Amino acid sequence: MEPGRPQPGRGSGMWHTGGGGGKCQPGLGGVSVSQEVAGPSSLTQSQVPPLRLTTKRPRKGRNVEEASLGLIKEANDALKAPLDAVEAYGIYIASNLQQMKEGPHRKCEKIIFEWPNDR
């Protein structure tokens, strides 16, 4: 033991200075290690209110749901609407292009994309 240097006491939870006179300085705020170990709480379960989670969804979720339903309705209406002549012709050309081989397909694609610029 070095004089003047705090040394742990034997199981007392106190620090001894190592000097004479038997002076003790409390270690860890005057609480021994055995007293610091967490034991059962003095509060019983009846004294602690139960944690309650909110069951209501925020309004934001409802708005998203309503917007989604609106988009689905618009898409459904668009799919059911009759095609005009330009849309029908575009679908006809697209289906024919899909059935062509690659060489003629590229040639026709080039002609189709240049056509609006010639007007």
Look up the pTM and report it.
0.30
Distance between CA atoms of residues 27 and 7, nearest Å: 10
Q: For residue 75, what pLDDT band results from cuts at 50, 70 and 90?
A: very high
Q: Summarize pLDDT for 90-118 with one digit per residue, the tens.
A: 888 888 888 888 888 888 888 888 876 66
Asked if pLDDT for residue 15 goes beyond 60, the answer is no
Cα separation, 12 vs 31, in Å, equals 10
Give the model's pLDDT for residue 2: 53
Domains of the chain, by residue range, sit at 83-118
If one compares 107 and 73, the residue with the highest pLDDT of the two is: 73
pLDDT at position 76 is: 93
The mean predicted confidence, pLDDT, of the chain is: 71
**Mean pLDDT calculated for residue range 58-65:** 74
pLDDT at residue 70, as a whole number: 94
Using a 10 angstrom Cβ sphere, with 0-12 exposed, 13-18 middle and 19 or more buried, the burial of residue 116 is exposed
| pLDDT beyond 60 at 84 | yes
